[in-house]
Structure 1
Amino acid sequence: MKISKIYFLIYIVMIASCDKKAERSKEIISSQKTQFPKGQIIDLTHDFSEETIYWVTAKEFEMEVVAKGITDKGYYYAANNFATAEHGGTHIDAPIHFAENTQTVDEIPLSNLIGNAIKIDVSENSIASPDYLISIEDLKNWEEENGEISKGSIILLETGFSKLYPDKLKYLGTKERGEEAVKKLHFPGLAPEAAKWLVENRNIHAIGIDTPSIDYGQSQDFQSHISLLSNNIPAFENLTNLDKLPSKDFQVIALPMKIKGGSGAPLRIIAILN
């Protein structure tokens, strides 16, 4: 009889423990749900296809159809192979792209790729001048209207050039490819002194732009890349739909293909409006 009572007590304790674990699991799931931002989702990513724009010296996107149709067993099956360079279309520049001994794609903390974001719109100036350099003054003008750029922000720079995509002549400044074509590139970018100012004065997590490069097309030394990436600040390039975003009060989720040791990767990036 005593042994039966002991077993009964053990059973009661086990049931109570399971109930507590179940309640704790519910709390965790509920917490995760409330932490995920709710609001309108804006896709900031260009499709990958034969139209995708790549750097003029990079391998362009290729897709090979492996299978497409009804199999001999009666079910539909589709599969493809694709090949492409790291840097093209909507993609990420990992710090290692321009800075030795910094983070590769797989090493970038997710906290740098997900978070509160702002948009700085310079499209009025940049559409009028393809070689426009986004200045410290542009950054400070945004702050005058919206307040100081918050610690850990993701900055998106809107030049309006995504509306020219995928027309290579208008978007890049040239249809040509190869080393000689680099000299003929014309599109806006972040001025080197502005990149340096951000690094020294604002603790940002990442930066993005709706052009092929964070440096402008005529750059020969890529100093904006060097300033940012040397400080493990990744860059998102060839973004789209920035015109659908407000100046602030939204979140960004930017998840690249996790290429081990990669200097860059295709990127799926979205914004969630508050």
Structure 2
Amino acid sequence: MDTHARFSLVLSTVMVILQARAVDMVVTRTLDIGYTLSEESANWPTNRAIEITSTMKGLTPEGFWLEANEICMAEHSSTHLDAPSHFSEGAWSVDRIPLNHLMAPGVVMDIQEKAANDSLAELTAEDVMAWLDKHGPLPDRAIVLVRTGWASRYYNKTAYFGTDTKDTSKLVFPGINVGAARIFSGYEEKYGRRVVGVGLDTPSQDNGASTHYPTHVELGAAGIYGLENLADMSELPTTGFKLMVMPMNIKGGSGAPARVIAIIPDPDGDLSSGPPTPPLGRLLYLIPCLTLLVTLLRP
């Protein structure tokens, strides 16, 4: 190999290393977009309320501190995941949802303006198509979040559900139209990319007036899980972030309380505040690069 060719290979290798290192140095921040489980949690009106009972809180006879509680609640409590099996016989239960469907890219579709003027507003197929025209195709394995602004009402249960009774015929809150759900369920067949989850900041994927829950049925049959009672999404970008969905791993569960964490690029963040790369990790990263360089530089 002549000197010029060797130099070109070395330069190319160095550029690849620098680009890979730059990716490794991307600064991110994390955001919890769910609510804690508590006796104040907003739960479906006909569900039992969450009960948390302390069984021990204090010093034991042996002299060490011990705290323990018992908790009793419905599967679909507070911020939670609706498994596909919730409305589709034979579909995935919570414990059968693939892990790579729970760690996936997120996008936000915002219908706050509609919801401010109509408490039963829905994300429609037209809204989805307008979003796609503006922002481009959904990433593969997307989790689509719908921001309605309803999170601001969460701690006022009457405002959040539209009623202070257990009468579900009086529920009033925004949701997702079945037409939009059909775009999500058919996205893989049409575009080769899959929607794995859909979530929103209201008590249900279907709006409060729904009695047959067609959006739940459509998404469940397609193996798409739902996230309900999400918290404020105002800090989320429209695209370009990741989500980690962490439901309780209930065997056969039709749903489960979940923690939902967004991982957001933060270009203005301070690299020095992030965790350092472990020395062993650096070494393992550099060994193949150095080996390749030595090989290329040999006469």
Length-normalised TM-score, structure 2: 0.77
| Separation (CA, whole Å) in 1 of partners of 2:219 and 2:172 | 21
Provide the secondary structure at the position in 1 that maps to 2:199: strand
How many residue pairs align between the two structures? 239
Match of 2:54 in 1: 65
| Separation (CA, whole Å) in 1 of partners of 2:117 and 2:41 | 24
In the TM superposition, what are the counterparts of 1:15-26 in structure 2 within 5 Å?
none
Match of 1:99 in 2: 88
Match of 2:186 in 1: 200
| Separation (CA, whole Å) in 2 of partners of 1:67 and 1:136 | 52
Q: CA deviation at 1:139?
A: 1.1
Provide the secondary structure at the position in 1 that maps to 2:71: strand
Distance 1:164 1:70, change over 3 A: same
Q: Which one-letter code corresponds to 2:216 in the other structure?
A: H
Q: Which one-letter code corresponds to 2:244 in the other structure?
A: I
Distance 1:250 1:80, change over 3 A: same
Provide the secondary structure at the position in 1 that maps to 2:138: coil
Q: Which one-letter code corresponds to 1:167 in the other structure?
A: N
| Separation (CA, whole Å) in 1 of partners of 2:89 and 2:236 | 34
| Separation (CA, whole Å) in 2 of partners of 1:126 and 1:78 | 43
Q: CA deviation at 1:216?
A: 0.4
Q: Which one-letter code corresponds to 2:245 in the other structure?
A: A
Q: Does the alignment pair 1:223 with 2:223?
A: no
Distance 1:59 1:38, change over 3 A: farther
Contact kept in structure 2, 1:127 and 1:161, CA below 8 Å: no
Q: Does the alignment pair 1:131 with 2:120?
A: yes
Q: Which one-letter code corresponds to 2:223 in the other structure?
A: N
Length-normalised TM-score, structure 1: 0.84
Match of 1:74 in 2: 63
| Separation (CA, whole Å) in 2 of partners of 1:61 and 1:253 | 24
Match of 1:48 in 2: 37
Match of 2:175 in 1: 189
Q: Deviations over 1:54-108 (max 9, x none)?
A: 1111111100010111222222111100000001210000011000011010000
Q: CA deviation at 1:196?
A: 1.1
Q: Does the alignment pair 1:111 with 2:100?
A: yes
Distance 1:225 1:38, change over 3 A: farther
Provide the secondary structure at the position in 2 that maps to 1:186: coil
Of 38-47 and 83-92, the range deviating more from structure 2: 38-47
Match of 2:147 in 1: 158
Provide the secondary structure at the position in 2 that maps to 1:140: helix
Contact kept in structure 1, 2:107 and 2:145, CA below 8 Å: yes
| Separation (CA, whole Å) in 2 of partners of 1:150 and 1:45 | 23
Distance 1:142 1:99, change over 3 A: same
Match of 2:255 in 1: 264
| Separation (CA, whole Å) in 2 of partners of 1:92 and 1:36 | 32
Distance 1:111 1:35, change over 3 A: farther
Q: Deviations over 1:128-186 (max 9, x none)?
A: 21100111121122222211222211111100101111211100001112xxx110000
Contact kept in structure 2, 1:37 and 1:272, CA below 8 Å: no
Q: Which runs of 4+ in 1 moved over 3 A?
A: 34-38
Q: What is the percent sequence identity of the aligned residues? A: 35
Q: CA deviation at 1:217?
A: 0.6
Please point out which of 48, 61, 74 is paired with 1:85. Answer: 74
| Separation (CA, whole Å) in 2 of partners of 1:171 and 1:146 | 30
Q: Does the alignment pair 1:239 with 2:230?
A: yes
| Separation (CA, whole Å) in 1 of partners of 2:237 and 2:186 | 26
Gapped regions of structure 2 (runs ≥ 5): 1-19, 189-193, 266-299
CA RMSD of aligned residues (A): 1.7
Q: Does the alignment pair 1:214 with 2:205?
A: yes
Gapped regions of structure 1 (runs ≥ 5): 1-30
Distance 1:219 1:265, change over 3 A: same
Contact kept in structure 2, 1:38 and 1:272, CA below 8 Å: no
Distance 1:213 1:158, change over 3 A: same
Contact kept in structure 1, 2:187 and 2:195, CA below 8 Å: no
